[in-house]
Amino acid sequence: MTRQAGGRVLFVGLMSASLLALVLTWSGDVARAAVTTVSLVDFAFQPSPVNVNVGDTVTWRNDSPISAHTTTSATALWDSFALSPGQTFSFTFTSPGTYNYFCTIHGFMLGSVTVLDSSATATFTPTATVTATPTATPVPPPSTFEQNVQVVVAKAGANRLQVTINAHTGQTLSALAWTLPANAAAESLSGTALPTGVTLPAGTASTSFILRRVSGQSATPPIVVTGSFGTWRTFAGGGPSAWQ
């Protein structure tokens, strides 16, 4: 073999090795990317919180049988708008940190995603964008994606949920109406049975009532809220796990 031919062989060999290393590096990057699925069911994000790596994607899937939900970033990074049952929404995280989110239709539904920097060294320090996961149920932060009212649901005893409806600042509530399933009833906080429609005093900005259901069954009544903002329809209640 001549020196010139040997040089060509060596050059081709080096190029092949470089291409192989590039392919292996690129394949490794792809292998590290993953998709994590979060289910929207029983008026909760399941699982939550979740941990992913930079470059990973989180897909939210509405597994609720009848209720629409959203996944909305608390810092306006993403918003799915209303997802009907069976619909999905995905977001890819490119920076490390903890990202809190909520459902704009049901303000008590909270979740968080912690994004880890898999390439960080031992000296890596989280940036100031990392925020603590809330320990209470706060009012969702104002954003252009918020709905007309906030609905907060809290346990009020066995098979009882207290539903609180808050109007936005400067808005008022005027009436509530609902269609209750046969296994559920509505009552005031004092225990008085409520009819299917309630007219509220002028200037009302917040109101609460109790939902009661038969043990072991579900109750997800649609609530039609009327106020200075117009009319808005939401849901409150959920499957058996929401009442436990």
User: How many CB atoms are located within 10 Å of the residue 53 CB?
Assistant: 16
Q: Report residue 129: phi and psi, to 5°.
A: -80, -10
Which of 49-58, 98-107, 145-154 has the largest mean confidence? 49-58
Q: Amino acid letter at 108? A: F
How far is 231 from 242, CA to CA, in rounded Å?
26
As to burial, measured by CB atoms within 10 angstroms (0-12 exposed, 13-18 middle, 19+ buried), residue 129 is exposed
With pLDDT > 90 as the criterion, what percentage of the chain qualifies? 26
Superfamily of domain 149-243, CATH level 4: Uncharacterised protein PF12988, DUF3872 (2.60.40.2410)
- List, by residue range, all CATH 2.60.40.420 domains of the chain: 35-116
Say whether domain 35-116 belongs to CATH 2.60.40.420: yes
Residues 175 and 123: beta-carbon distance below 8 Å: no
**Mean pLDDT taken over the chain:** 75
Between 160 and 218, the higher pLDDT residue: 160
User: Tens digit of pLDDT for each residue in 114-142?
Assistant: 999 876 543 333 433 333 333 333 333 33
In order of 60, 101, 236, the CA distances from 30 in angstroms are: 21, 27, 41
Mean pLDDT in residue range 197-216: 87
- List, by residue range, all CATH 2.60.40.2410 domains of the chain: 149-243
How far is 59 from 37, CA to CA, in rounded Å?
5
Q: Does residue 142 have a cis peptide bond before it, meaning omega lies within 30 degrees of 0? A: no
Between 155 and 102, the higher pLDDT residue: 102
For residue 138 the two structure tokens come to 């706060």
pTM, 2 dp = 0.45
In order of 10, 20, 44, the CA distances from 6 in angstroms are: 6, 21, 67
User: Tens digit of pLDDT for each residue in 35-44?
Assistant: 999 999 888 8
Mean pLDDT in residue range 91-105: 91
How far is 93 from 52, CA to CA, in rounded Å?
8
